[in-house]
Amino acid sequence: MAIDTARSVHVTPKSKFVRHTKIPTLIFETSSELAKHVANIVADLIRSKIKEDVPAILGLPTGSTPLGVYRELIRMHREEQLDFSNVVTFNLDEYWPMDPDSIHSYHTFMRENFFDHVNVKPENIHIPRGDIAADDVDTFCEEYERTIEKFGGLDLQLLGIGRSGHIGFNEPGSARNSLTRLVNLDPVTRRDAASGFFGEDNVPHHAITMGVGSILSAKKIIIMALGEHKAPVVKRAAEQEVTDEVSASFLQTHTQSQFVVDHAAAAELTAVKTPWIVGNIEWTPLLEKKAVIWLSLQVGKPLLKLETEDFLHHHLHQLIQKYESISQIRQRVFDSLLDGISTRPAGTDRKKVIVFSPHPDDDVISMGGTLITLADQGHEVYIAYMTSGNIAVFDHDALRHIDFVHEFHKLFHPDDQGFLQHLEDLKESIESKHAGDLDTQEMLGIKGLIRKTEATAGAEVAGVSEEFLRFLDLPFYRTGQVSKKPIGEEDIEIVADLLREVGPDQIYVAGDLSDPHGTHRVCAEAIINAVNVVANEGISPEFWMYRGAWEEYEPHEIERAVPLSPEVVLKKREAIFKHESQKDSAFYPGSDKREFWVRAEDRTRNTAKVYNQLGLPEYFAIEAFKQYHGEI
């Protein structure tokens, strides 16, 4: 399964090789296939070096991207006796200053996610140290470079890519020949690291990183990217000019470099986004719909006004050849969009509906208008909150709630000295908390309660009363940290029990699965598994997906469009406002710092605008859904 050189074309059944990029790119349908592919390449290298009786020298990244590769290599070590005793490793980077024993250090990350589970010899492991005194950093960095050279250079460098375009921590402005050194972290990088540090303020401002030049000295380089948030930077690095604004673009100058990306991270590549521009393609009904919608928006004409000339001048002559006349395809795309518009998303008879909300606010943020519409039209609507969302509550919010309970008790139960003292202690524990300290179980419980009461208030505004709410608190989430456990039988059984209890006609599930380690993906996996379990028991609801809080489906993907009136949009905003702990600045805002209600309104207004541009009726706002057909 492995490739001989990083540049050769290696196509597994579920991967696609893209030739139109300046860095050869292999696209995988899923992150687990990608991880297996890369792990196979590493394993082949290790085995071939064992045969030659020389060490295999690996350059390794941290971050969420390589986790699947490490997991697969650990599996190979356990089940296939893959031997790491000849492996020498050099990690790309480490925060500075950083105690190697801190839970935030890359030393800890590598131990927990890889080294503790394989037999790399401790003396063969090299990771920049974050506890070097400022005066000694330069000498340390020179020594790091010399040690790599002493081993004859890196045989294979694995990389992730940051949204700032960095490889290692080579932020914009890094020179092509830069070597290991102390650097400042870009604000984008610090924001992306915020969740692991329990807030952006706790993220260090500096790091020690191998340079672009150190990375380019490797014999082979594999750069990985997962998730739609990486799509724009993947395009810049792989397709556009080489520039120090995007360090990863320097890989274009290395003859043995290759991008391996999942479907979501590939989304902006020309060969994926507008494949008709780059050559012959196999047309599918979905791709035809995508192309015709793209053409309509490109030339600024509604669908039914498109002319043969428009197709000819925009690389779509292949479609004309296929259909002889354009009226057929034009009409088909128009009809499919029109048929998808529904002001009665659950029909006219009273239906049982479950809206699954991964976090306590995804329901109202992502499909609040439809929720309001369903409740208003008399359907029996349940909302299942899958996780407590407790890790996204700020300490100061917890403090305010405890303060309220404290004052309440002082006023109404002044004799309950034991409890009053306990509340004092809780307040004190928050005030004396150090940046990055983990919460106690009790504090996580309090934070979970805050989110539960907010969700209840939000649902009430949407027209769903408390008796129809289910707080599933799935076990996979209960780590108290950003990293979660994989889903287990217990999670699936909890969801299956709910499906048995309600026997829904329709379910709505968050389907934004591009973040391979995200909570939404794990929740969707639990639901899909549970749906399969209960299907044998005669429960088979219509399965609709909505996108999460961040993005919307592209117009060609939308199978149901629910128009929202201005009143419904306003009510939805009110429901979102009930999530006070997520207002102003959310704990995990992601790349978009606007408040959730602003994003939600922009997104639904924008979909309505696009529909109108395509020549469909004019609506105030639209929420979009896609049906689950066995894959997401």
Catalytic residue numbers, as ranges: 171
Nearest residue relative to ligand F6R (C-beta): 160
Residue 516 is a binding residue for ligand F6R (CB under 6 A)? no
Q: Which is nearer to ligand F6R, 92 or 616 (CB)?
A: 92
Residue 168 is a binding residue for ligand F6R (CB under 6 A)? yes
Of the candidate spans 31-39, 161-169, 179-187, 423-431, the one that interacts with ligand F6R by CB under 6 A turns out to be: 161-169
Q: Which of 24, 55, 59, 61 lies at the binding interface for ligand F6R (CB under 6 A)?
A: 61
Residue 93 is a binding residue for ligand F6R (CB under 6 A)? yes
Q: Which is nearer to ligand F6R, 55 or 61 (CB)?
A: 61
Report, in Å, the least distance between residue 64 CB and ligand F6R: 4
Distance between alpha carbon 243 and the CA centroid of its chain, in Å? Answer: 26
DSSP letter (8 states) at residue 243:
B
Name 383's Cβ contacts closer than 8 Å, sequence gap at least 6. 354, 355, 357, 363, 371, 455, 459, 464, 468, 469, 470
Report, in Å, the least distance between residue 29 CB and ligand F6R: 19
Integer Cα distance of 472 and 502 in angstroms: 14
Name 431's Cβ contacts closer than 8 Å, sequence gap at least 6. 399
Q: Which of 128, 162, 345, 448 lies at the binding interface for ligand F6R (CB under 6 A)?
A: 162
Residue 65 is a binding residue for ligand F6R (CB under 6 A)? yes
Q: Which of 167, 231, 329, 374 lies at the binding interface for ligand F6R (CB under 6 A)?
A: 167
Residue 559 is a binding residue for ligand F6R (CB under 6 A)? no
Q: Which residues pair with 562 in a beta bridge?
A: 623
Integer Cα distance of 317 and 319 in angstroms: 5
Of the candidate spans 11-19, 39-47, 61-69, 298-306, the one that interacts with ligand F6R by CB under 6 A turns out to be: 61-69
Report, in Å, the least distance between residue 566 CB and ligand F6R: 39
Q: Which is nearer to ligand F6R, 363 or 515 (CB)?
A: 515
Q: Which of 21, 25, 30, 62 lies at the binding interface for ligand F6R (CB under 6 A)?
A: 62
| CA dihedral sign of residues 471, 474, 477, 480 | positive
- How many beta carbons lie within 10 A of that of residue 121, not counting itself? 14
Residue 181 is a binding residue for ligand F6R (CB under 6 A)? no
Of the candidate spans 60-68, 77-85, 302-310, 600-608, the one that interacts with ligand F6R by CB under 6 A turns out to be: 60-68
The answer for 300, left when phi > 0, alpha when psi is -120 to 50, beta otherwise, is left
Q: How far is CA 528 from CA 371, 497, 568, in A?
A: 21, 13, 30
Tell which residue, 525, 495, 517, 477, has the closest CA to residue 628: 525
Q: Which is nearer to ligand F6R, 67 or 326 (CB)?
A: 67
Integer Cα distance of 580 and 445 in angstroms: 17
Integer Cα distance of 459 and 586 in angstroms: 20
Binding-site string for ligand F6R from residue 450 to residue 489, where x marks contact by CB under 6 A and - marks none:
----------------------------------------
Residue 64 is a binding residue for ligand F6R (CB under 6 A)? yes
Residue 128 is a binding residue for ligand F6R (CB under 6 A)? no
Integer Cα distance of 428 and 400 in angstroms: 12
Of the candidate spans 154-162, 365-373, 454-462, 600-608, the one that interacts with ligand F6R by CB under 6 A turns out to be: 154-162
For residue 619, give both structure tokens: 């609506």
Q: Which is nearer to ligand F6R, 61 or 541 (CB)?
A: 61
Q: Which is nearer to ligand F6R, 194 or 375 (CB)?
A: 194
Integer Cα distance of 367 and 611 in angstroms: 18
Q: Which is nearer to ligand F6R, 234 or 530 (CB)?
A: 234
Report, in Å, the least distance between residue 166 CB and ligand F6R: 5
Q: Which is nearer to ligand F6R, 222 or 558 (CB)?
A: 222
Residue 92 is a binding residue for ligand F6R (CB under 6 A)? yes
Residue 55 is a binding residue for ligand F6R (CB under 6 A)? no
Integer Cα distance of 251 and 249 in angstroms: 5
- What number of chain residues touch ligand F6R (CB under 6 A)? 14
Q: Which of 10, 71, 129, 166 lies at the binding interface for ligand F6R (CB under 6 A)?
A: 166
Name 254's Cβ contacts closer than 8 Å, sequence gap at least 6. 216, 221
Q: Which is nearer to ligand F6R, 188 or 304 (CB)?
A: 188
Strand order across the 506-510 sheet: 469-471, 380-385, 352-357, 506-510, 542-546, 621-627, 560-564
Residue 160 is a binding residue for ligand F6R (CB under 6 A)? yes
User: Across 263-406, where does the E strand assignment appear?
Assistant: 352-357, 380-385
Angle at 621 (CA atoms; ends 615, 624), nearest 5 degrees = 85
Q: Which of 55, 63, 211, 389 lies at the binding interface for ligand F6R (CB under 6 A)?
A: 63
CB-based contact 107:74 (threshold 8 Å): no
User: Across 420-515, where does the E strand assignment appear?
Assistant: 469-471, 506-510
Residue 195 is a binding residue for ligand F6R (CB under 6 A)? no
Residue 31 is a binding residue for ligand F6R (CB under 6 A)? no
**Among all chains, which residue has been given the structure tokens 């999942």?**
262
Report, in Å, the least distance between residue 63 CB and ligand F6R: 3
Residues of this chain that bind ligand F6R (CB under 6 A): 61-65, 92-93, 160-162, 166-169
